[in-house]
């Protein structure tokens, strides 16, 4: 069974631009969560989507948004990028019935 | 509010020895789950083991076991017979059932296994 895939793997953007990251969950997984990992703040929860609905959101500004499609694939968008948005963005998928979450390889975003 | 504390920034262990990575947690919920993840330098988070708050027995997965002491709010990871490939960052995380799939992570412990 294929794991969680994230595209792109690496991205360099300029301050003020916007970016869209994509996550394809494991087949059959309907819950997708996003996390930001930085050296200073560690791993922080961004949001979770289930059946195309956001059902939990972390403490991030409105510049961070996401969505989930009917095939459970998810995208997150960051508008008006700031230097502090440079991070590893990780996506995780899970079954509703199981507690385990499986992570993708991440997208490393660098904002210059 | 949920909180995970990992007090060991770094740990060293020799190959084939056992090592314990500490994790304490704080929550007011009665129903929650505790997780350990491994993050190699490649960045991917690898699920290792899970313990539910109502599970009476400590979880085990191969060389990994979770020493769950509910009264002390601790969930230490024990790795038996360490291997060179175990060198990585290890994160303890918690999920409160009312928070759906939201995980709260600790700051991590970097484990270095020497030959």
Question: What DSSP string runs through B16-28?
Answer: T--EEE--EEE-S
Instruction: Give A99's pLDDT tier (boundaries 50, 70, 90).
Output: confident
* CA B33 and chain centroid, separation: 11
Tally of CB atoms within 10 A around B101: 20
Return the pLDDT at A85: 98
Selected residues 57-76 of chain B with any CB under 8 Å from a CB in chain A:
none
- From the list B37, B43, B100, the residue facing A55 with the nearest CB is B100
Instruction: Give A4's pLDDT tier (boundaries 50, 70, 90).
Output: very high
Find, among A108, A27, A33, the residue nearest to A66 by Cα. A33
Count Cβ atoms within 10 A of the Cβ of residue A91 and give its class: 0-12 exposed, 13-18 middle, 19 or more buried. buried
Determine whether the interchain pair B43/A88 forms a contact, defined as Cβ–Cβ distance below 8 Å: yes
- Closest residue in B to A32 (Cα) is B101
B48 Cβ contact partners less than 8 Å away, ≥ 6 residues apart: B35, B36, B37, B38, B61, B64, B77, B90
Find, among A94, A108, A22, the residue nearest to A56 by Cα. A94
Residues in chain B within 8 Å Cβ distance of A59: none
Query: Could you read off the pLDDT of B43-100 as tens digits, one per residue?
Result: 989 999 999 999 989 999 999 999 999 999 999 999 999 999 999 999 999 998 766 8
A49 pLDDT more than 80: yes
Determine whether the interchain pair A94/B101 forms a contact, defined as Cβ–Cβ distance below 8 Å: yes
Q: Among residues of chain A, what percentage have pLDDT more than 70?
A: 99
Q: Among residues of chain A, what percentage have pLDDT more than 90?
A: 91
Tokens of B73: 């709010």
Q: Find the chain A residues whose C-beta atoms sit closer than 8 A to any C-beta of B.
A: 31, 33, 35, 42-45, 48, 50, 55-56, 58, 88, 90, 92, 94, 99-106, 108
Return the pLDDT at B97: 73
Tokens of B14: 């020799």
A1 pLDDT more than 80: no
Min CA distance, B44 vs chain A (Å)?
4
Cis ω for the linkage preceding A8 (within 30 of 0): yes
Determine whether the interchain pair B33/A31 forms a contact, defined as Cβ–Cβ distance below 8 Å: no
């Amino acid at each position: 069974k294929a794991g969680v895939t994230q595209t792109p793997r690496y991205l360099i953007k300029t301050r003020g631009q916007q970016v869209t990251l994509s996550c394809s969950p494991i087949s059959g997984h309907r819950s997708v969560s996003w996390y930001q990992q930085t050296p200073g703040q560690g791993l922080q929860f961004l949001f979770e989507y289930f059946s195309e609905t956001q059902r939990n959101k972390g403490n991030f500004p409105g510049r961070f948004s996401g969505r989930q499609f009917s095939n459970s694939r998810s995208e997150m968008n960051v508008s008006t990028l700031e230097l502090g948005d440079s991070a590893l963005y990780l996506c995780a998928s899970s079954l509703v019935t199981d507690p385990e979450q499986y992570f993708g390889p991440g997208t490393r975003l660098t904002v210059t | 509010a949920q909180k995970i504390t990992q007090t060991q920034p770094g740990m060293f262990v020799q190959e084939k020895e056992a090592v314990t990575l500490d994790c304490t947690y704080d929550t007011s919920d009665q129903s929650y789950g505790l997780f350990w993840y491994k993050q190699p330098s490649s960045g991917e988070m690898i699920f290792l083991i899970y313990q539910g708050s109502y599970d009476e027995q400590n979880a085990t997965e191969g060389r990994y076991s979770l020493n769950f002491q509910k009264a002390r709010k601790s969930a230490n990871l024990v790795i038996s017979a360490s291997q060179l490939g175990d060198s990585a960052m290890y994160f303890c995380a918690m999920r409160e059932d009312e928070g759906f799939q939201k995980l709260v992570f600790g700051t991590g412990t970097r484990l270095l296994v020497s030959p």
